[in-house]
């Protein structure tokens, strides 16, 4: 796994071994950033259920101003911190060890882009969408990665949505309208 483009282009990212983490494929990651390419520069990013932090790191590499990474797994937070060090983004990022949903209940921060990629079939996505939408800045974006068969809400109040399918993976992108 690597950073696709930007200031850290080509840098390899560490990931966790085993079935507990399912890294986003390069094809899907490239598609995500093609969809949001004009929204990344100068943005504040939230990478929930971050795994190894690759989506937030890709955003930082493409000019995001700051990123917050949350995960309940200490191993995931540790590997994300290693990846931030190795890509030179440690000073423009914060990692949060703990339940990503609880973090949303505690924080007052607002984000321009939020990446949601919880464990598939864990029943977390709709709750995550419902909570994170309250922390999205005007014209902000929520990017949800899920199993293709998982049906996410077509509409959430104050947002438009578009769904993209890539084999067994689906992306649902919600844009906040002002």
CA distances for 70 relative to 47, 81, 107, 178, angstroms: 6, 11, 12, 27
User: How does pLDDT run along the chain (178 residues), one tens digit per residue?
Assistant: 899 999 999 899 999 876 556 678 788 899 999 999 999 999 999 999 999 999 999 999 999 999 999 999 999 999 999 999 999 999 999 999 999 999 999 999 999 999 999 987 778 899 999 999 999 999 999 999 998 998 899 889 999 999 999 999 999 999 999 8
Check residue 122 and give its pLDDT.
Answer: 74
Flag whether 131 is in a domain: yes
Please report, for residues 6, 150, 177, the alpha-carbon distance to residue 56 in angstroms, rounded to integers and kept in the order given: 13, 23, 23
Q: Locate the DSSP E strands across the chain.
A: 44-48, 66-71, 93-97, 111-116, 136-147, 159-166, 169-176
- Model pLDDT, residue 20: 57
**pTM, full prediction:** 0.94
Predicted local confidence at residue 32, as pLDDT: 95
> What's the CATH code of the domain at 70?
3.40.50.150
Count of the separate structural domains present in the chain: 1
In a domain, 37, yes or no: yes
């Amino acid at each position: 796994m690597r950073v696709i483009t930007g200031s850290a282009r080509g840098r390899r990212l560490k990931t966790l071994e085993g079935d507990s983490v399912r890294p986003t494929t390069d094809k899907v990651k490239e598609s995500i950033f093609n969809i949001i390419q004009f929204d990344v520069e100068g943005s504040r990013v939230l990478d929930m259920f971050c795994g190894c932090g690759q989506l937030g790191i890709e955003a930082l590499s493409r000019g995001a101003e700051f990123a917050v990474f949350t995960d309940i797994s200490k191993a995931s937070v540790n590997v994300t911190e290693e990846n931030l060090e190795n890509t030179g983004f440690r000073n423009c990022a914060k990692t949060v060890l703990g339940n990503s949903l609880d973090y949303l209940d505690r924080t007052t921060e607002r984000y321009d882009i939020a990446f949601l990629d919880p464990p598939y079939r864990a029943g977390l996505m709709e709750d995550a969408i419902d909570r994170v939408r309250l922390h999205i800045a005007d014209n902000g974006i929520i990017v949800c990665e899920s199993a293709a068969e998982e049906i996410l809400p077509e509409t959430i109040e104050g947002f438009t949505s578009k769904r993209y399918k890539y084999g067994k993976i689906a992306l649902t992108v919600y844009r906040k309208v002002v």
